[in-house]
Structure 1
Amino acid sequence: MSSLFSKSCLVSLILASINIEASEVKKKKRVRPPIPKEYYQPNYIKPDGLVKGAQFQDLILPVPIQAKLEVNAWGTAEVLPRDLTNGIEDEVYSYWGGNIVQSQDGVNHLFCCRWPEDYRRGHFGYQSSEVVHAVSENGPLGPYKVVDVIGPGHNPEIYQAKDGSWLIGVLEDIGTYKAPSLNGPWKPHMPTFTPLHASKNVNLRNRSYAKCDDGSVLMVIKNGTIWHSSDGVKEFKQLTGGSVYFKPNHLPAKYEDPVIWKDEVQFHLIYNDCLRREAYYMRSPDGVNWHVDPGFAYTTDFMKYENGQLEKWYKWERVKVRLDEYGRATHLNFAAIDVSKKEDKGNDKHSSKNVVLPLSVSRRISLLESTKAGYIDIKINAESGFSPNDDLDLSSVNFGSPKDVDFGKGIQHHSSRKVGVDLILTFDAKKINLSQDDFVYKILVANKNGQQEFAYCKTKLSSE
């Protein structure tokens, strides 16, 4: 008996020792090394001489106040008072990620994720987040109200496939949810992802999608590589071997949160350096070859109301864009948190929400074949709420290569003429300094209210 008892005690001691060692190993794994100081050194300095409208951040407009600015709400003093009807927020849930699409009946649909605010691990309850469908019948700014819980998932983005179906890409192994309409029913769907190198593991988190003219879908993932699907449903194949991100000064950085979209003229891409809390904006003719624009897409102190009051969220992440029928970005929406993620505890005065910001929308312009040798004609289209013949201050025209226009070095028009409700500007082509990598013309021109209008068009006729 005593021998058996001794053996039993020995086994128990061994198991206890193993458990203690395993526990210590786990604890050691959770301890992250300190972030090197060079991660916080300035990685990019905005160049001197940029004119208003040159950097993407200039396009973010003051936010209309839909309801009174409320002081009795969660959050630090930097985000109070605020309009609680902007985007989506409440006391029960923390919200994150997601993008807005408008249905044909004019209703705005937000697909985002949430988790209980009182979750014991605070912000890190995102690991158990669920994807929800919320709607606003009051316009893109909100307020949005949840109408459906779709299922588990984090960092969702909705896009439309070639066949008209809708898919929501999420972070988890679920891949996507798929439905015939914005109102569901939603079912899990797993596309195939084919990397260039089959033996290499690829982190497919934080995917963003852009629908191409032929109905195919371009995708960018967290690491900045570009993928393509012929139908947006079955298979995505990797196109670029490396990241397309502009990486200034080659200092260490943590790039993430890409969002990609396409309008009538070009592809657009924004991505974020999450440690420095600043983002960059790039453009492309084909979604593969990218050019960075000077300045920032956004930093931290860019949200203000029409009355001038600032709203300073600690961190802006998961930027997304709402598009109109021409693919133009009309609004940005963000996941915004008032403190660092570690400081957001369960059942406290801190949380996160989805914030919606209006943008200055690009005007529609196009290159025409000029009847005058050595000159080019640019047509500026009239549209609802905008008359180029009545609304523009033509003395402020700044046109040409984006590299010149962004620094106020574009050219003035030679002549102008009215064609119906549209306006045609004629420019001396010999004065335009185009380089081999220029694929668009850019125009900046003030309207008669003093606000900057902007537009791009291709440098070649559409028939070419």
Structure 2
Amino acid sequence: MRLFRRIQFLVTSVLLLGLHPALTADVPLIGRSLPGASLLDGDFEEVRAGWRQPKQSPYWKTEIVKGQGKVGCALGNLMNNGASVATAESVVLDHPALQQLTAGDVLAWRFSSSTEYPSDGRVSFSFVFGDQERVLTSRVKVPNGPDMPKNYEGFYTLTAEDIREGLPKAKFTLESTHGIIVYVHWVDVCLLRDATSGPKVLGVNAVDAGLEITWTGQPAATYDIFRSEQERRGFQKIASEIQGQRFVDQSIVNGKPYYYAVKRIGERMASSAVVRGLKLDSRAPSAPLAVQAVGQDWVVQLHWQKPDTDVAYYKVHRSDADGENMTCIAPKVTSESFEDMLPLKGRQNSYRVQAVDYSGNAGALSARVSAQVNAVRGASFSDLLLPMPIHEELRADLWGAEGVLPRDPDNGIESHDWSYWGGKIVQDPSDGLYHLCVVRWPEGDRKGHWAWPYSTVAYTVAEKPTGPFKVIKELAYDFHNGLGHNANIIPLNDGRFALYSLINWKAMILTADSMSGPWEVLGEMQVNVPENYTHAYRLERNLSGVHCEDGSFLFVTKAGAMMRSTQGILGPYDVVSGVTGENETIPERYRRSNYEDPTMWYDGVQYHMMINAFLEYRAIYLRSPDGIHWKYEDGLAYTPNCTEYTDGTRTFWYKVERPNVLQDAYGRATHLSLAAVDVPKADDYGNDRHSSKHLVIPLVVTKRIELLNDAPVTAVTKRIRALIRSEEGFDAQQDLDLDSLRYGANEAVNFGRGCPVVKTEVHADGLIVEFDGSRSELTEANFVGKLIGRTKTDELVVGYSKL
């Protein structure tokens, strides 16, 4: 999406200077035909193909001359898709006006072009008359992303030979290096006719009443005024039959750019060039009106009324019930509603909303409103996220967008020279250090973030689980020159390690006695792909696995489908479940998400999974008794706004992906690691101020609980006896707030219900707690019981036990 912001910036910075005289023509042939739609798909929008998946326009014939790729139109651009040389030729320009062409007639042409990333991208533009090609621009070097696209324009005078050859076509030749995409964003071709040419707009100026458009033209003529909020489309008539050469648009919104064209009334009259106008003000908007907050099960819905017409976006602030400790939780909300996906549970959340207008003025805060969700603290995995410790200091002299500064560069791993991504942290009991095989690629690569297909895996070590991780080996393994993506570690039952890595688009497994290597290539994973299985590639990518107690291997695949092998880690694997989006325990509002990047682990009680909804910028958490049948846990696992430091400073990452957990000796998750990027991936160019890092968030560690009942606990069990084990930093006999404890079905305890404590008994390993089993709400759908409570110092207590 960076590409389109670049185009927008181009027109706002260039059109302000004045006119494009080549457009004062009365017969448009290709492209802009104000106020109508683009002719012959000159804006390349006839087909709306997806990114990097171009399709063929009915008005343009494309061909690859050299190299590989799929040439065509996508997202409003003509593109070579990385082919070394490609051509695009329009249909014949058989406009009726061309039937009377004579030698000496003039065609005006203009187009805009750039490359996606730095390369020697070149564009040639021609008119083709029969077998004769008239080259108008020859291999002009176009700007490289992230630089702004450039407009090229000129005139061509028809010859007698051209007329004899017949009506022309327009032709582009796109040349590229390094597999980089060359774009043509739009093209206009016009036949000049002075008699009916459009008026010449002198300018657009801000006046007290709005924006004043002035032009030159015939004194007795009348004019129509057209306006749009986009430079090339969406023009609507806002005034008609205007006499004179002046019009004031009084219906503008200050701070918003507008584009204007003036057209003389009359048959086949051309419009003027498009000009841009903008009026800024210094008056701050009023505070948002009628703010309402409604607490639901685990989210808070906020709604308000727009206070002024020129409001561009809002900032949402959250504080304690009494209004203290206010912090911004959403810096740019563009509608009059907001969903707080991670409110504090078990207490009132207070909110105030602030409007910011298009001129950049920030208004006063709204009145404070409060709401509380139904779920209690501990219901959701997100409640386990703790503030990140600050190793030395928070710094602002780092790469990154405003929302991720200041931050701690010693958390996880980051660098000015490398873009880091995902990996699983493992603690080695022999040295007590924390080891991470992490994916990375050069930050200065010409393709920016999209150099990830050529990423390598580095071996790093830290003394603390939160970092800083230091590179010990530039390449964790030598195979295939160390290339690999989405690397993940599978601890093996014999104490060794397996490493999954996507190498040359193959699911490869390497093994080693220790995280430091050396890593031996075991081979490629094999999958028995079911007949007619759609998206079979997902079974090889983004894998996370567990070596089960029975010796089998379970892997969760890219979209959440499970596969199992009983014949070793290389398989063959059988697909044993559907994808996450088919899981009916997930609420419908979350089930329709696009899921990828799962992580799975086992802690001796149950299997756990987190999986990322990459289009909705959130993740969910599920549990399973067998690693195949998964049950959704209420709420969310994390969002990009979940990162907070111990001093209260928050960061707002554009996106967080590739979740993984550090496990302790019992298999419990102690830390969550995430790959974080500060801007949309397409906006992360090489050698810029944007990048990605691997960050680590401490977690509330679940308590070790063992049921002591002689028979399995069910809905009819009257008394439930549970041993809550003490451990380092936690004394079950002294620390627990017994009145706060509830045990039972997660559907009950997540919302404050469940079994209260009846009595306790001191045990050598902790505390035996007896619960009133009549209030457990357990059903056959529950394979574990859940404990929620707090300590006497208000620290969260969460745990699960087999029934």
TM-score (norm: length of structure 2): 0.51
Q: 1:175 to 1:23 in 2, by over 3 A?
A: closer
Structure 1's consecutive aligned runs of 4 or more residues displaced over 6 angstroms after TM superposition are: 21-25, 41-47
Aligned to 1:115: 441
Tell me if 1:168 matches 2:212: no
| Residues 112, 456 of structure 1: alpha-carbon distance in 2 compared, 3 angstrom cutoff | same
Contact 2:507 2:524 in 1 (8 A): no
Match of 1:418 in 2: 762
Match of 2:617 among 266, 271, 277: 277
The equivalent residue for 2:392 is 67
> In the superposition, relative to structure 1, how do residues 263 and 22 fare at CA in structure 2: closer, same or farther (>3 Å)?
same
Aligned pairs (5 A) from 1:134-213:
134-137=460-463, 139-148=464-473, 149=475, 150=477, 151-171=482-502, 172-173=505-506, 175-195=508-528, 197=530, 200=533, 201-203=536-538, 204-213=540-549
Does the 8 Å contact 1:44/1:248 carry over to 2? no
Q: Deviations over 1:189-241 (max 9, x none)?
A: 32442325266444211000123223432100012111123365331422424
> Structure 2 stretches of 5 or more lacking a match?
1-60, 78-336, 343-371, 712-716
Q: Which residue of 2 aligns with 1:28?
A: 72
- Which residue of structure 1 lines up, in the alignment, with residue 456 of structure 2? 130
For the 8 Å contact 1:161–1:215, the answer to whether it is kept is no
Deviation of 1:301 after TM superposition, in Å, equals 1.2
- Deviation track 1:248-289 (CA, whole Å, cap 9, x = no partner) reads 437753210100110021000111110110111100111111
- SS of the residue corresponding to residue 58 of structure 1 reads helix
Q: Which of 620, 629, 640 is matched with 1:289 structurally?
A: 629
User: Are residues 1:433 and 2:777 paired?
Assistant: yes
SS at match of 2:640: coil
Aligned residue for 2:761, secondary structure, equals strand
Q: 2:786 is matched with which residue?
A: 442
**236 and 319 in structure 1: CA distance in 2 versus 1, 3 angstrom threshold:** farther
Higher helix content, 1 or 2? 1
C-alpha distance in structure 2 between counterparts of 1:25 and 1:282, whole Å: 40
Structure 1 length-normalised TM:
0.87
Distance of 1:386 and 1:163 partners within structure 2: 30
Superposition deviation, residue 349 in structure 1:
0.3
Aligned to 2:260: none
Looking at structure 2, the residues matched to 430 and 43 of structure 1 have their Cα atoms a distance apart, in angstroms, of 36
Distance in 2 (alpha carbons) for counterparts of 1:309 and 1:18: 52
CA-to-aligned-CA distance 1:393-436 (integer Å, 9 cap, x gap): 11111111110000001121111111124101112323321111
Partners of 1:174 and 1:188 within 8 A in 2:
no
**One-letter identity of the residue aligned with 1:51:** V
Give the match for residue 226 of structure 2: none
Instruction: Work out whether residues 191 and 236 of structure 1, in 8 Å CA contact, stay in contact via their aligned partners in 2.
Output: no
RMSD of aligned residue pairs (Cα, Å): 2.7
Gaps of 5+ in 1: 1-16, 34-40, 460-464
The answer to whether residue 651 in structure 2 is matched with residue 311 in structure 1 is: yes
Q: 2 CA distance for matches of 1:122 and 1:112?
A: 18
Q: Deviations over 1:147-203 (max 9, x none)?
A: 121210011101123444322112231512222321211233324423252664442
From 344, 356, 359, the counterpart of 2:684: 344
Does the Cα contact within 8 Å between 2:606 and 2:623 map onto a contact in 1?
A: yes
1:258 aligned partner, one-letter code: P
Report the counterpart of residue 50 of structure 1 in structure 2.
Answer: 375
Structure 2 letter corresponding to 1:92: D
Residue-pair matches, total: 435
Q: 1:199–1:410: structure 2 CA closer, same or farther, 3 Å change rule?
A: closer
Q: Judge conservation of contact 2:341–2:636 (CA < 8 Å) in 1.
A: no
Which has the larger displacement, 336-345 or 250-259?
250-259
Matches within 5 A, 1:296-375: 296-369=636-709, 374-375=718-719
How many Å apart are 1:389 and its aligned residue?
A: 0.7
Q: Distance in 1 between matches of 2:67 and 2:514?
A: 48
- Cα distance in 2 for residues equivalent to 1:99 and 1:24: 36
Query: What secondary structure is seen at the aligned counterpart in 2 of 1:155?
Result: strand
Q: Distance in 1 between matches of 2:753 and 2:486?
A: 41
Q: Which moved more, 1:344-353 or 1:180-189?
A: 180-189
1:388 Cα deviation after fit? 0.5
Higher relative contact order (CA closer than 8 Å, sequence separation 6+): 1
